């Protein structure tokens, strides 16, 4: 019984520490509209073959809040720091779809950030 109380106390302390860390260290992400605007610009420049040409896109968010959207072949990305989200856009991208993709990319970066925070405790 005494050992279980010690374990419970340690678990409670860890949970409280996790909560404090989460509140103190939130990832600053871009607004969905900012990312959507970047996606629309990329879609406007897509050239290719087939009925609807498409390209891969990636959102990179750094710890300091800076971010960028990369497009094309991921093997050309040389800066692997930060947290990432990935998707695809095509030449017929609508504003509504751009917003949905932007939100998904941001969610992916936040999920990756949360996983990283759990591994680093």
Query: What's the Cα-to-Cα distance from 46 to each of 26, 56, 86, 89, 119, rounded to whole Å?
Result: 34, 11, 17, 9, 38
Please state the domain extents for the chain: 28-119
- Residues 6+ positions from 89 with CB-CB distance below 8 Å: 39, 42, 43, 46, 54, 55, 57, 71, 97, 98, 101
Hunting for tokens 């073959």 — which residue is that?
Answer: 49
Q: Give the global pTM.
A: 0.75
State pLDDT tens for residues 16-28: 766 655 554 688 9
Please say if the pLDDT value at position 108 is more than 90: yes
Higher pLDDT, 63 or 21: 63
Q: For residue 36, what pLDDT is reported? A: 98
Q: Quick one: what percent of the chain has pLDDT higher than 70?
A: 81
Q: Determine which of 18-22, 30-34, 38-42, 45-49 has the lowest per-residue pLDDT on average.
A: 18-22
């Amino acid at each position: 019984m005494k050992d279980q109380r010690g374990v419970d106390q340690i678990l409670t302390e860890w949970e409280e520490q996790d909560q404090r860390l989460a509140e103190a260290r939130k990832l600053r992400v871009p607004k969905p509209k900012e990312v959507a605007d970047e996606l629309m610009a990329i879609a406007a420049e897509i050239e290719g073959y087939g009925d609807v040409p498409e390209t891969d896109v990636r959102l990179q968010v750094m710890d300091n809040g800076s971010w960028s959207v990369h497009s094309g072949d991921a093997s050309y990305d040389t800066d692997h720091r930060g947290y990432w989200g990935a998707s695809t856009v095509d030449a017929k991208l609508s504003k509504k779809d751009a917003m949905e993709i932007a939100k998904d990319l941001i969610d992916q970066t936040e999920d990756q950030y949360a996983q990283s925070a759990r591994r680093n405790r």
